[in-house]
């Protein structure tokens, strides 16, 4: 059996030193979070004090504002900041402490970071006042397990579901505001901005990015084309809009040229939304929530540029994927399950990741679902060439072990908080969508593809 060719293998001395550095970094982070929580509580107390000073006045709003100005000025002078800045901080802290006590508590204990709190504040603005307490509890639970970026993705869906009006209704109104606007920015340059459906914008961006990468890969050595990815994307964008056929296509009219490159967009659709029994928001992977109507339209069309993932309405786990023709059955399932890179905290979409063996094939690892996951190029390389190790547990759970021996768990997307549907799943649910729904299993029977699709 071949040895594992890792570039970085820590000695006992190195591991001891790294453990010490890790302990210091953790302690500093906990202390910083506690200090930020203490500052937040102090500023919130300042806001409460100003409100109390204004009580009993016939012009409470005006008097509270003046009282707040005075308190903000006092603090600003002491900490050498502008009073306007401090007043804004007081307003934010007052709302944070009163609306999101569970989140503040987690910050105070060093369990989350200020970046997590900023995400909760930002997304929580969309939640009705009477539901902020519930949102706070869910947000704190999610932030305990996820990075701010991943937490944002989950919280956006929760906030949409708590909104008094469905995303379908709001999207319909917003869609009528789609437009293109140009702005002159000087130096003979202008900007062209398009306001359109997130699904279409994401598709456009992904397609032009793939085409730009193809142009760069096809460059002849020494040809003098030194344009960056951004420059090539901009040139392709202009060419396609002006001519409908990219003029800088290096492959000409040959099959497989830029015209053959299509957008690759992954849409996550809860089963009840697919069947029209719910308008819960769906998820445009890597971007955010989209309305159920748009998702149903994508699920029902014949395009091969959309990858549809059907999820369980309670657990949120991927239950089936479509027959996206340019991937193998196993890859469809892995990318449908993982949705993004499985390094803890990484949100690189699965479409940009490699399907990697957890236990290296060169070391005897089997090519099977329970030994495969999506890793982006950065984390694939890190797993291969550093002392980090990884293995897959039951249910697609990925366990990472650091060089110092610490264990970090990355659960498959959909393991977090989910809403119970208003109605129970119909007994004949699966019979209604058996054809598009497939799961993959290993079979001992000979077949062209051992990962056969099987109806639920």
At 334-359, the pLDDT tens digits run 888 888 999 998 888 888 898 888 88
222 and 357 share a domain?
no
Instruction: Please give the radius of gyration of the chain, using alpha carbons only, rounded to the nearest integer.
Output: 26
**Does the pLDDT at position 452 exceed 50?**
no
Q: How many domains does the chain contain in total? A: 3
DSSP string, 183-248: EEEETTEEEEEEE--HHHHHHHHHHHHHHHHHHHHTPPTTS-----HHHHHHHHHHHHHHHSS-TT
**Residues 303, 298: Cα–Cα separation, whole Å:** 8
269 and 256 share a domain?
no
Q: Is residue 228 part of a domain?
A: yes
Structure tokens at 336: 């449908």
Q: From edge to edge, which strands make up the β-sheet containing 389-392?
A: 389-392, 398-401, 407-410
Q: What is the mean pLDDT of residues 84-102?
A: 95
Are 214 and 232 in contact by the 8 Å Cβ rule? The answer is no
What does pTM read for this prediction? 0.66
Window from 53-57, 91-95, 148-152, 187-191 with minimum mean pLDDT: 53-57
The parent domain of residue 230 ranges over: 197-260
357 and 300 share a domain?
yes
Q: Is residue 175 part of a domain?
A: no
253 and 348 share a domain?
no
Q: Is residue 16 part of a domain?
A: no
240 and 381 share a domain?
no
Q: Find, among 217, 248, 218, 221, the residue nearest to 234 by Cα.
A: 248
309 and 378 share a domain?
yes
Q: Find, among 39, 63, 286, 291, the residue nearest to 165 by Cα.
A: 291
- How does the average pLDDT of the chain come out, rounded? 79
Q: What is the pLDDT of residue 312?
A: 59
Q: Find, among 268, 274, 277, the residue nearest to 424 by Cα.
A: 277
**Residues 385, 184: Cα–Cα separation, whole Å:** 48
Structure tokens at 380: 């694939």
Choosing from 233, 260, 287, the residue where a domain stops is 260
232 and 277 share a domain?
no
137 and 250 share a domain?
no
Q: Is residue 1 part of a domain?
A: no
Instruction: Name the β-bridge partners of 11.
Output: none
Q: Is residue 311 part of a domain?
A: yes
Q: Is residue 58 part of a domain?
A: yes
354 and 401 share a domain?
yes
**Residues 373, 78: Cα–Cα separation, whole Å:** 53
**Residues 83, 172: Cα–Cα separation, whole Å:** 42
**Residues 298, 277: Cα–Cα separation, whole Å:** 17
Q: Residue 435 to residues 144, 227, 232, 454: CA-CA distances in angstroms?
A: 39, 46, 41, 10
**Does the pLDDT at position 384 exceed 80?**
yes
- Strands (E) located in 247-298: 265-270, 282-284, 288-290
At 278-297, the pLDDT tens digits run 888 887 776 778 888 877 77
442 and 302 share a domain?
yes
251 and 271 share a domain?
no
- Residue reference for tokens 């997304």: 123
Q: What is the pLDDT of residue 20?
A: 95
288 and 402 share a domain?
yes
Helix (H, G, I), strand (E, B) or coil at 279: coil
Bridge-based pairing of strands 372-375 and 354-357 is: antiparallel
């Amino acid at each position: 059996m071949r040895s594992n060719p890792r570039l970085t293998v820590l000695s006992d001395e190195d591991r001891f030193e790294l453990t010490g550095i890790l302990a210091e970094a953790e302690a500093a982070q906990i202390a910083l979070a506690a200090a930020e929580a203490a500052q937040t509580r102090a500023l919130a107390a300042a806001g409460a004090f100003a409100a109390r000073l204004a009580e009993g006045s016939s012009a409470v709003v005006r008097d509270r504002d003046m009282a707040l100005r005075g308190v903000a000025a006092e603090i600003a002078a002491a900490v050498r900041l502008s009073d306007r800045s401090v007043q804004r901080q007081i307003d934010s802290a007052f709302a944070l402490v009163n609306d999101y006590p569970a989140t503040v508590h987690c910050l105070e204990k060093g369990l989350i970071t200020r970046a997590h709190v900023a995400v909760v504040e930002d997304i929580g603005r969309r939640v009705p006042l009477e539901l902020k307490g519930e949102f706070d509890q869910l947000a704190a639970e999610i932030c305990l397990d996820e990075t701010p970026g991943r937490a944002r993705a989950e919280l956006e869906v929760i906030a949409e579901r708590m909104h008094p009006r469905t995303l379908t209704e709001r999207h319909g109104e917003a869609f009528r505001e789609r437009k293109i606007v140009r702005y002159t920015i000087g130096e003979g340059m202008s900007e062209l901005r398009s306001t359109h459906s997130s699904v279409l914008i994401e598709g456009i961006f992904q397609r032009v990015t793939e085409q730009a990468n193809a142009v760069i890969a096809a460059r002849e050595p020494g040809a003098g084309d030194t344009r960056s990815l951004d420059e090539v994307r901009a040139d392709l964008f202009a060419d396609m809009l002006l001519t409908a056929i990219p003029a800088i296509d290096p492959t000409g009219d040959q099959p497989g040229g830029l015209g053959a490159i299509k957008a690759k967009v992954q849409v996550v659709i809860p089963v009840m939304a697919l069947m029209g029994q719910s308008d819960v928001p769906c998820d445009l992977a890597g971007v955010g929530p989209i309305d159920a109507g748009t998702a149903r339209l994508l699920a029902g069309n014949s395009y091969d540029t959309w990858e549809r993932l059907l999820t369980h309405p309670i657990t949120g786990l991927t239950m089936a994927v479509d027959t996206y023709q340019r991937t193998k059955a196993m890859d469809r399932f892995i990318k449908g399950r993982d949705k993004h890179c499985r390094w803890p905290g990484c949100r690189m979409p699965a479409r940009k990741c490699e399907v990697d063996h957890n236990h290296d094939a060169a070391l005897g690892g089997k090519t099977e679902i329970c030994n495969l996951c999506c890793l982006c190029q950065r984390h694939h390389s890190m797993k291969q060439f550093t002392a980090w190790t990884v293995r897959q547990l039951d249910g697609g759970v990925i366990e990472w072990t650091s060089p110092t021996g610490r264990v970090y768990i990355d659960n498959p997307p959909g393991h977090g908080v989910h809403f119970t549907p208003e109605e129970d799943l119909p007994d004949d649910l699966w019979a209604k969508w058996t054809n598009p729904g497939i799961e993959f299993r290993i079979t001992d029977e000979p077949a062209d593809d051992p990962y056969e699709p099987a109806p639920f």
